[in-house]
Structure 1
Amino acid sequence: MRTMIIAALLALSAALTAFSVSALDLFEPDRDEVQLVLVTSALWLLFGLAYWLLRRVNGRAVIALVLAGSALIGGAALIGPPNTSTDSARYAWDGIVQNAGLSPYALTPADDRLDSLRPDWLFPAPETTAAGNEVCVGERIATTRSTDGDRLCSALNRTTVPTIYPPASEILFAGVRFLTGPEPTYWPLQVVGLLLSLGTTAMLLVGMRRRGLDERNAALWAWCPLVATEAITNSHVDMLGVIFVVAAVFLVSSKQVWRGGIMLGIAIGTKLIPVLAAPALLRRGGWRMVAASVLSFTVLYVPYVLATGIGVLGYLPGYLSEEGYQDGSRFALVSLVAPGASAVIVAGLILAIVAVLVILKTDQNQPWVGQLVMIGATLLVLSPRYPWYALLLLPFVALSGRWEWLLVPMALTLRLLVPSVPLTRASIAIAVIVIVAVSLHRAGHGNLERMLHPLRSRPA
């Protein structure tokens, strides 16, 4: 009976996911933010209830439910186009440009020299109104200017700057468009996101079984609404980094350091953020892991450096400034005690302390708890407005079973849907309080004393 109830909840989650993807998005001029929040909250509630019931299921039914739920909810996320982000339009464009033999770091999408490459679904022609004015029409279509000053309608964001994405991502974009050509719209990358998410689910289940971990916790990844919306519907390339990070963790923790380092380097070459998984692996991986990571990362960059030179940095410096990370305005909680540029220093000190503690205290046979703390603390301190950054956190929530850290992606999702600074600060503060309280409860009095013992050594 419990298995049937869980199956019904997963089917309901899939139906609600399909509805949210097909009927709700952030691009509608008259969008109902309340409806978006309510539907998203319902998805998280169904997810939590299904996981709670799964805790009392045993045997093969667990594997079947986790995999079926991952496939069912993920498949539902394919129903419609991206609904909270336009990033996958840029992914498609970068792939198209590369297959034409050009570097995405060298030319901007608005460059007139690329006019012959522009498919209509990414760059629709402007329409003429009754008054004779040209306008860009469409929910995801922005109005910009080409380099010669003409009106340019585009589904891309930031058309006047080069790409920001590292080479592993660019290789994926080029590979997808090599197979499909420029005309298919968003679905090719959505299918890739589904395959990567299912691959991660399977990898977690296998790795957890081999290490004697509770396989039921794999549902914390497989059924999570964030995976469906951000890895599949919005096709964020963070998903590629996630699967390589999970592979790296399992390899390094199994003392396959060189191979794990290569996987970690590829993950970092996807979007840089996976470097946060490294501190917890350093004591076991050592110089060999670092060398392998640097080597694979460098190899990925070589063709693009040869083609573009220093231009491979793309829009990264401008992006950091635009997002408020240089003047400190982006740090939701830190800016309360350290306003302005001083927030950058305080945030850096906090994360440096966390990194040192993670390096010193992480059990090298089970590094995922340290990785959970490192990645989760970074997201709480930096408080990005993009919840898909938290995709990297979710596998470590599953591996550790520390469900309380799910409050981090929930808070970041709320920040995206309702961009209110007071609400963001309140939600992140609640996440911090709950995580600390539950973590102290988990530790217990004796474990807490041992945890706080100065630099107590742990087996390598």
Structure 2
Amino acid sequence: MRSTRALLPTVLAGGAVILLVAVVAVGTHVHGFAHADRPRALVAIGAGWVAFAVAVLALRRVPERVVVPFVLAGSVAVGLAALTGPPNLSTDSARYAWDGIVQDAGTSPYAHVPTADALEPLRTDWLFPAPAGTDAGGVAVCPAERVDPTTSVPSGEPLCTAINRPHVPTIYPPVAEAWFAAVRTPVPSSAAYWPLQVGGLAVSLAVTGGLLVALRRRDLGVRWAAVWGWCPFVASEAVTNSHVDVLGAALVLAATLASTRPAGVRRALTTGALLGLAAATKLVPAIAGPPLLRRDGWRTAAVAVVTFVLVYVPYVVGAGSGVLGFLPGYLDEEGYDSGNRFALLAFLPGPVATVVAVGLVGALAVACWWRADPDAPWHAQVVLVGGTLLVVGPSNAWYALLLVPLVALSHRWEWLAVPAALAAGELYPRMAVIRPAMGVALVVVLAVTLVRASRPARLPRLTWRPA
């Protein structure tokens, strides 16, 4: 009788995970590129979050002895489901693949724009499909979905390409570029999106494993690893759409755990090196750094800066100042230079919004550094990263991949409202949508924080201990 009672919760949780896997698999075939497809994509994203919530709540009743294999199996299943379709919310992985192909051919990714005539021998059919012809204005007619007309540089020949912004240099820092080259090296240039998707799955599973080990060693409840491993947001952004931010999140997690090791020079060296590599992956992971500087701060910061500079050296030698790529143009394009990007500060004039945003993020960074617990810095990190995302309101939801492992470590589940809101804003980047979405996320975070602070015994804490 007792064994039956113990088996039933596991069976129910397994059914919830199967439902989640099915929703993720279906969601990979719902594209969000075209305006007409966005409502279906929004429904698919919402269904994924609901299935995820059901699955992690069902996990609370699973017996302790089977939690680790259960979480791992669910993570593998969700990740494999995310492999069943091509990128459906972003075309960034086309640029990743091209940068890898260029590097494997011995050319710096910062030296030429993708449509440069000098790189014509490297063009592949899946990244540069042949035009079906040209229209009356001489513009290429492109037959495939997610393929746009462009021109070769400097010849001006009409082209079709799957790469976004094909007339600007790459924006990605050296560690990201090294990742692109490493993933593309074992496969032929004709291999399309799946190498980066498999690479994203491998890193995602490594994060799940790292969380399981860290949570067990610190007696924080291994069930919380499912917050990352089963999250449909992670499956979509890290695997299906293959965003390199998953690598940055993994490196930040490693730096965070390294910072809690016993005192010594090795701790500062390891933490600083990992933090520098994370920042040299996407720059965004640097916002998780201040709470790690509460202990051995100057040593850790110095090692991080030196690491960041050193990984740039080989690329600077080959391309000079071109290593900055499209970063300045990207900041202007996204509205950060003008101040029009800050959703929650949209009631302010653009320049004023920029000043206020910088002030808020700076004050938050100082406060989180000052209040950080060196033995558990993730509590300050989740507030700093989540708060920064709320202030900045990026149109790219995948930046929030950095937040999810910190939610798992800190148990601050309310911060998952931020990636959920950003996912909606990714489909509908207009202020009329992203502003209320981010506003709801802010209300959720503040409400749960206030309730937790005032009535901790009455708030479900989701400690996920077996009944």
Cα deviation for residue 290 of structure 1 reads 1.0
Tell me, yes or no, if structure 1 residue 47 matches structure 2 residue 52.
Answer: yes
Tell me, yes or no, if structure 1 residue 275 matches structure 2 residue 280.
Answer: no
Residues 396-444 of structure 1 show CA distances to partners (whole Å, capped at 9, x for unaligned) of 0000111110100000001112333222211211111111111122223
Q: Which moved more, 1:74-83 or 1:131-140?
A: 131-140
Q: Aligned residue for 1:104? A: 109
Question: For residues 30 and 439 of structure 1, do their structure 2 counterparts lie closer, same or farther at Cα, with a shift above 3 Å needed?
Answer: closer
Residues 35-74 of structure 1 show CA distances to partners (whole Å, capped at 9, x for unaligned) of 2211211110010111112223341222122111110010
Q: Aligned residue for 1:321? A: 332
Tell me, yes or no, if structure 1 residue 266 matches structure 2 residue 277.
Answer: yes
Q: 2:122 aligns with which of 91, 97, 117?
A: 117
Q: 2:148 aligns with which of 142, 153, 159?
A: 142
Q: 1:388 aligns with which of 376, 398, 403?
A: 398
Tell me, yes or no, if structure 1 residue 289 matches structure 2 residue 300.
Answer: yes
Q: Aligned residue for 2:183? A: 176
1:371-450 equivalence runs, <5 A = 371-444=381-454
1:156-167 equivalence runs, <5 A = 156-167=163-174
1:208-357 equivalence runs, <5 A = 208-255=215-262, 256-336=267-347, 338-357=348-367
Residues 275-318 of structure 1 show CA distances to partners (whole Å, capped at 9, x for unaligned) of 11111111113111112211221221110011111111000000
Question: For residues 76 and 211 of structure 1, do their structure 2 counterparts lie closer, same or farther at Cα, with a shift above 3 Å needed?
Answer: same
Q: 2:204 aligns with which of 194, 197, 201?
A: 197
**Preserved contact between residue 256 and residue 271 of structure 2 (Cα < 8 Å):** yes
Q: Aligned residue for 1:95? A: 100
Number of equivalent positions: 444
Which letter maps to 1:166? P
SS in 2 for 1:284: coil
Q: Which moved more, 1:97-106 or 1:387-396?
A: 97-106
Alpha-carbon distance in 2 for matches of 1:195, 1:6? 24
Alpha-carbon distance in 2 for matches of 1:231, 1:169? 14
Q: Aligned residue for 1:25? A: 31
Alpha-carbon distance in 2 for matches of 1:207, 1:359? 22
Q: Aligned residue for 1:127? A: 132
Tell me, yes or no, if structure 1 residue 75 matches structure 2 residue 86.
Answer: no
Alpha-carbon distance in 2 for matches of 1:446, 1:68? 33
Cα deviation for residue 181 of structure 1 reads 2.5
**Preserved contact between residue 230 and residue 236 of structure 1 (Cα < 8 Å):** yes
Question: For residues 133 and 331 of structure 1, do their structure 2 counterparts lie closer, same or farther at Cα, with a shift above 3 Å needed?
Answer: closer
* Fraction of identical pairs, as percent: 49
Could you say what the CA RMSD is over the residues aligned between the two structures, in angstroms?
1.7
Alpha-carbon distance in 1 for matches of 2:360, 2:34? 39
Q: Provide runs of 4+ in structure 1 moved above 6 Å.
A: 129-133
Structure 1: gaps of 5 or more residues = 448-460
Alpha-carbon distance in 2 for matches of 1:2, 1:208? 22
Which letter maps to 2:152? S
SS in 2 for 1:104: coil
Cα deviation for residue 15 of structure 1 reads 1.4
Cα deviation for residue 445 of structure 1 reads 7.2
Q: How does the TM-score come out when normalised to structure 1?
A: 0.93
Q: Which moved more, 1:137-146 or 1:434-443?
A: 434-443
Alpha-carbon distance in 2 for matches of 1:133, 1:204? 50
Q: How does the TM-score come out when normalised to structure 2?
A: 0.92
Cα deviation for residue 130 of structure 1 reads 11
Cα deviation for residue 128 of structure 1 reads 3.1
Cα deviation for residue 260 of structure 1 reads 1.5
Question: For residues 213 and 146 of structure 1, do their structure 2 counterparts lie closer, same or farther at Cα, with a shift above 3 Å needed?
Answer: same
SS in 1 for 2:295: helix
Alpha-carbon distance in 2 for matches of 1:285, 1:243? 22
**Preserved contact between residue 28 and residue 139 of structure 1 (Cα < 8 Å):** no
Q: Which moved more, 1:342-351 or 1:255-264?
A: 255-264
Cα deviation for residue 369 of structure 1 reads 0.9
Question: For residues 94 and 424 of structure 1, do their structure 2 counterparts lie closer, same or farther at Cα, with a shift above 3 Å needed?
Answer: same
Which letter maps to 1:391? L
Q: Which moved more, 1:307-316 or 1:437-446?
A: 437-446
